[in-house]
Structure 1
Amino acid sequence: MKTSQLLAVLLCATSSVGVAQQVKIGAKMGGNVSNGVGADVNDSAIRLGGHAGGMVQVEFTKHVGVQAEAQYSLKGDNSLIYGPSIMHHLAYLDIPVVAQYTLDDLFVEVGPRYSWLLSAKSNVEGLDNVGKQPFKSQLYGFALGFGYQDETGIQVGWRYNADLIYLYRDINFSGDIVQTRIRNSTMQFYLGALIKPK
């Protein structure tokens, strides 16, 4: 995603702030449970990681709002053999923009997510570390989840993040384009805090 496209997404998410009942800013952090999924996946071992970042929540009505976030998120898997599997620890900048529906203190959320690859490290010591080269630098996906947020702005929740495109780059193999069909799949458990700016 180009910088201009990313800015357009963020502007769309916050363009109606003037008609919003309430705007809050905050931070969140939590754990990740990640692995590879897809038609070609074999022996993708679960990786435990984490995520942390900031967020802006815009409430339009008592029940409907939008939350935009920027997170440093650790994904990949713990596989030590290419089965195929991811066989790397991957770090991303994730930018989800989710619509939220709230009933009392409980909410459900769903929306698109953009991911930018920051680093990649092989799980196998001594193996030539080619870094980010085998992987696409930008991915698109979705996020959906549910949670609890009280009147003070404390937020606890669960979220599932999935890529909609494959994470490996296409390979030209003797004139044929080969695509390894593996995507990131990540469950998140998080704690956040929001405040209303003065």
Structure 2
Amino acid sequence: MKKLLFTIALAVSAITVQAQEIDFGVKGGVNFAKLQGDAVEDTDGRTGFHVGLTGEYMFNSSFGLQAEAVYSQQGLQSEANGVESKLKLDYINIPILAKFYIADSGFSIEAGPQFGILVNDEFTQEGGLVDVEQDADAEELDLSAGGGFAYKFKEGTSLEGFMISARYMIGLNNVFEDNDTFGDDITNSNLQLSIGYKF
């Protein structure tokens, strides 16, 4: 019993030490999202927002790993012959990004995969003979990859703890499968501009 308690205590201590080495924070910003594919090439993107949590672990002064859990509004919209169509795709996105810091400047280059969990899909049409509001039947999981640039304000400055970033993610799997409206060769794309704060 004593050995078990000692092992548990060591494990908890190790987790606590690791957690203390992770910079946790919050972030939010604007999305310029769009879908890619022949069936939607004449549509406009959806401008929305994203907000969530972030954590960064530094292996050394120039390389780190950042993981996030972010609510993200994506999709598209279009208008033709007085009919306005909107496709709302909302995800909980979990990017896992390698970060490479440039010297001691605070600038970093980030890249890696992103896993998206669909939490809302809604298709609406207004202005036609009959207004339409229905589920879009999008796939529940979305896989993307991409990267961008970030800047973390240095310690000792008036903006210490704040960060800004620009990131572009491109979808790797189809958003729909056997969808009569959009087809099955449609992928996500999203440009994110973010501001955050690390505690």
TM bin, normalised by shorter chain, reads: 0.7 to 0.9
Query: Could you report, residue by residue, the CA deviation over 1:13-56 in whole angstroms, capped at 9, with x for unpaired residues?
Result: xx999689942000000000011112443312122111000011
**1:184 maps onto 2:184 in alignment:** no
The structure-2 alpha-carbon separation of the partners of 1:57 and 1:39, relative to structure 1 and needing over 3 Å to count, comes to same
Structure 1: runs of 5+ lacking an equivalent = 1-14, 173-177
Amino acid at match of 2:110: E
Structure with the greater alpha carbon radius of gyration: 2
Change (3 A) 1:149 1:88: same
Q: Per-residue CA shift, 1:96-125, capped at 9, x if unaligned? A: 000000122100000110011111222413
* TM-score, normalisation: structure 1: 0.77
Q: How does 1:43-192 map to 2 (within 5 A)?
A: 43-80=42-79, 87-103=86-102, 104-125=105-126, 126-133=130-137, 135-151=138-154, 152-170=160-178, 180-192=184-196
Identity %: 27
- Asked if the contact 1:21/1:61 (under 8 Å) is kept, the reply is no
- 1:63 is displaced (CA, Å) by 0.3
Residues paired across the two proteins, number: 171
Matches within 5 A, 1:9-28: 22-28=21-27
RMSD of the alignment, in Å?
A: 2.6
Amino acid at match of 2:184: T
Structure 2 unaligned residues grouped into runs of 5+: 1-13, 155-159
Q: State whether residues 79 and 123 of structure 1, in contact with CA within 8 Å, keep that contact through their aligned partners in structure 2.
A: no
- Which structure 1 residue ranges, 4+ long, deviate > 6 Å from structure 2? 15-21
Contact 1:40 1:180 in 2 (8 A): no
CA contact (8 A) 1:34 1:185 kept: yes
Matched residue SS, 1:168: coil
Inter-partner Cα distance in structure 2 for 1:121 and 1:32: 18
